[in-house]
Amino acid sequence: MKQTAIMLAGLVLLLTLGVTAQENRSEISLQGTGFFTRDTSGQGISRTTSDTGGFLVGYRYHINRWFAAEANYGFARDTQRYFAASGFPRVQSDVHTATADFVVNLPFAKTRFSPYVLGGGGSLIFHPTGNAGGFVPGADTQAKGTFVYGGGVTYTLTKRVSLRGEYRGYVYKDADFGIRALNTDSWTHTAQPSAGIVFRF
């Protein structure tokens, strides 16, 4: 009888520890970002983009101490300016980023800092706002596949709350909004530095 009670108590303890461990595997993050896109040119057309800011929200699941998987959604609004023989059109657009990636954690013993690197893919969706002074007739919403890479560091405040500083880079084909006259046929890069807060559960 005593052995059974000890075994049951041990089982309850193990289950409790298991549930506690599971609770700490998930993270939700909210970050403010910069959004800086490299200028491109091709086919007699040059394109520059306004620097802007936005936000990034994400969910990260820690598979184990070293690896995690995450999904993120980001938003920014910028203006793309084109320089061509036909004129100098401008397109203001909302830019939605939807990505998924794998994270490699680099845990350090006895420290609050947790650095990591990441890599994955997804899509950048360019949606013209239609606002005056930033619209070209015929411009349409366009999605561009992207490779995403980056890294960052998380600083633990409490068991449930951390701060995060991060850099993400997106590599993708230039958007032309479905208009041949705006097609540079070039690859570009957007840098997205960010900082924010993480909730772990």
Concatenating the DSSP letter of every residue in the chain gives -HHHHHHHHHHHHHHHHHHHHHHTTEEEEEEEEEEEE--EEETTEEEEE--EEEEEEEEEEESSSSEEEEEEEEEEEEEEEEEBTTB--EEEEEEEEEEEEEEEE---TT-SEEEEEEEEEEEEEEEE---TTS--TT---EEEEEEEEEEEEEEESSSSEEEEEEEEEEEEEPP-TT-GGG----EEEEEEEEEEEEEE-
Whether residue 13 is contained in a domain is answered as: no
Domain count, the chain: 1
The CATH number of the domain where 120 resides is what?
A: 2.40.160.20
Whether residue 179 is contained in a domain is answered as: yes
Whether residue 47 is contained in a domain is answered as: yes
**Mind listing the pLDDT tens digit of every residue in the chain (201 residues)?**
444 344 344 444 444 444 444 557 999 999 999 999 999 999 999 999 999 999 999 999 999 989 999 999 999 999 999 998 878 999 999 999 999 999 999 877 668 999 999 999 999 999 999 998 899 999 999 999 999 999 999 999 999 999 999 999 999 999 999 999 999 999 999 999 999 999 999
Q: How far apart are CA 124 and CA 199, in angstroms?
A: 26
User: What's the confidence (pLDDT) of residue 31?
Assistant: 98
Q: How far apart are CA 98 and CA 120, in angstroms?
A: 11
Contacts for 89 with CB less than 8 Å, ≥ 6 apart: 81, 82, 136, 181, 182
Whether residue 21 is contained in a domain is answered as: no
Whether residue 7 is contained in a domain is answered as: no
User: What's the confidence (pLDDT) of residue 107?
Assistant: 74
**Single pTM value for the model:** 0.86
Whether residue 16 is contained in a domain is answered as: no
Whether residue 22 is contained in a domain is answered as: no
Range of the domain at 101: 27-200
Whether residue 95 is contained in a domain is answered as: yes
